[in-house]
Chains A and B, each alone.
Chain A
Amino acid sequence: MTKFAIKDHEMVPEHVLLTPEESAVVLKGFGIVAPQLPKIHVSDPAAKEIGAKVGDVIKVIRKSTTAKQSIFYRLVID
């Protein structure tokens, strides 16, 4: 059995865990509060792999067919 990291799968975009300071900047930029962000579960395999905790904000760097790359944010929820 080979050990396999979920982030290596071609369908999984890069997930980056943001520090509280970084997420505050992001939220300020959009003029919203954290619960208004799209969500991701703590139990999500990709979130688990980067060690996300409830309340963290994850930055997702998606490969996009239209913009080549797009940034998305998700709030980690229970």
Chain B
Amino acid sequence: MILTEKEITERLEGLDLPPSIKEAMQIELKGVPVSSEQLEEIVSQVASDYEHSKVEPCEAVGVVAAQSIGEPGTQMTMRTFHYAGVAEINVTLGLPRLIEIVDARKIPSTPTMTIKLNQDYAHDRDLAREVAWAIESTSILHLGSIATDLAEMNVIIELNPDAMEQRKITVDEVASRLKEETKREVSQNGNQLIMTPEESSYRELLQLVEKIKRLSLKGVEGLKRVVIRKEGDEYILYTEGSSIKRVMQFEGVDPTRIKTNNINEIGEVLGIEAARNAIINEATDTLREQGLSVDVRHIMLVADIMTVDGELKQIGRHGVSGEKASVLARAAFEVTVNHILDAAIRGDVDDLKGVTENVIVGQPIQLGTGDVTLVASKR
């Protein structure tokens, strides 16, 4: 008796196996004539293979993950800091980037966003360009020149009408932004703006010029550059600087596909689960870019540990290693004397439950067969 496709599907659905395995079986069994007994045989073979390939209880997955990421890490480029990868935008790659990820640094050394656009905008170069200009932080130097008049003790800003047209900003807007930020009067004369410092001193004058130069007149502060690249048939924006929360709100930006390499920012804006995904993606991309293949399960473990408490924790002194319950384990990691001294003052107790502390005292470690104990029931 040959089973129909529907019967096979029903049988497979009920199995306690990961969806990916069920799906693979479904594809393999498509159009293959199998009887009920044969299907049972296949199912039991697959199930036992799956059970076999699972991690054994008490296996040291953490050590295996550390080794599996660490060994290829030795082959990574020590300092790849150049304009690699995406068009002219500087991104940290290689070992420094990997360290940055596991350190859960608040701000990465080269924050960058990948912004995908909405349907209507993604295929039109001019519209994409408009979005880019809208989000890019515009300073006075993008719009014209700034000069000081020492005789009159004032600052003269010459605005270029073409540049302003391009960036969709008017003289009035520039003037009001300047007034708002510097709290000084701005006198307007055609395309010329004149400002005077509070005190009529040379120092004040130069300080005012510096302040004006640093001001972000339009766009998102911190987004120093925006580059447009065509990938496939879609225009994608790459930025120097990152602020997903603000960029999400711009017209034309697809908020569901915006990305940043700042993992902490993702954690804040999209939550801890998104941050976990970001760690996995960033770490795999960094490794892959270097031509190294590390099984994603190791990286998943690292990401899980970093996010288990609901906030991003680094792998290191101020995170995973520093929060270990055991005094001896912490002392074995870094600043030994301080840990032991603090523990002595507080009168801490070490339960000797972990691996490190048992190695230190010379007991069998609780790993693999060492973690199995015999319990006798009283009759």
Binding site for B on A (CB under 8 A): 1-2, 4, 6, 8-13, 15, 38-41, 44-47, 60, 62, 64-70, 72, 74, 77
A11/B272 contact (C-beta < 8 A), A2-B249, A66-B20 known: no
- B256 on interface, CB distance cutoff 8 Å: yes
Q: Cα distance A74–B304 when bound, in Å? A: 12
11 A-B residue pairs with CB within 8 Å: A6-B270, A10-B257, A11-B281, A12-B270, A15-B271, A46-B273, A47-B271, A64-B18, A65-B296, A68-B18, A74-B272
Q: How far is the CB of A8 from chain B (nearest CB, A)?
A: 5
Chain B contact patch, size range: 20 to 34
Given contacts A2-B255, A9-B256, A11-B270, A39 and B308 within 8 Å (CB-CB): yes
- Chain B nearest CB: distance from A52 CB in Å? 11
Contact A4 B308 (CB under 8 A): no
Chain A residue numbers with a CB within 8 Å of B308 are 38-39
Contacts of A65 in B (CB 8 A): 296
Chain B residues whose C-beta falls within 8 Å of the C-beta of A40 in the assembled complex: 271-273, 310
- Given A6-B271, A38-B309, 10 extra CB contacts under 8 A: A4-B255, A6-B274, A11-B278, A13-B273, A13-B274, A15-B271, A41-B310, A66-B18, A68-B20, A69-B19
A9 contact set on B, CB distance < 8 A:
255-258, 270, 274
A contact patch SS: mixed
The CA-CA distance from A64 to B280 in the complex, in Å, is 11
Specify which chain A residues have a CB less than 8 angstroms from the CB of B307 in the assembled complex.
38
Within the complex, which residue of A6, A10, A67, A74 is in contact with B18, where a contact is CB–CB below 8 Å?
A67
Cβ of B320 to closest chain A Cβ, rounded Å: 14
In the bound complex, residues from chain A placing their C-beta under 8 Å from that of B19 are: 67-69
In the complex, what's the smallest C-beta–C-beta distance from B235 to chain A, in angstroms? Answer: 18
Complexed CA–CA distance, A47 and B256 (Å)? 17
Within the complex, which residue of A2, A11, A68 is in contact with B23, where a contact is CB–CB below 8 Å?
Answer: A68
A-side contacts of B309, CB under 8 Å: 38-39
Per-residue A-contact encoding for B305-338, CB less than 8 Å = 1, 0 else: 0011111000000000000000000000000000
User: Using a CB-CB cutoff of 8 Å, which residues 103-156 of chain B contact chain A?
Assistant: none
Is B340 interfacial (CB 8 A cutoff)? no
Whether B248 is near chain A, meaning CB under 8 Å from some CB there, is yes
- Minimum-distance CB pairs A-B, first 6: A46-B271, A67-B18, A39-B310, A68-B20, A68-B19, A4-B255
B310 surroundings in chain A (CB, below 8 A): 38-41, 44, 74, 77
Query: B256-297 toward A: CB 8 Å interface, digit per residue (1/0)?
Result: 111100000010111111100110010000000000000011
The answer to whether A45 and B269 have CB atoms under 8 Å apart is yes
- Bound-state Cα–Cα, A41 to B248, Å: 23
The answer to whether B296 touches A66, judged by C-beta atoms less than 8 angstroms apart, is yes
CB < 8 Å: which of B18, B251, B272, B277 contacts A44? B272
Q: Are A66 and B297 in contact (CB under 8 A)?
A: yes
B271 touches A8 (CB 8 A): no
Determine the chain A residues whose CB is within 8 A of the CB of B258 once the complex forms: 9
Of the candidates A1, A12, A74, the one whose C-beta lies within 8 Å of that of B274 is A12
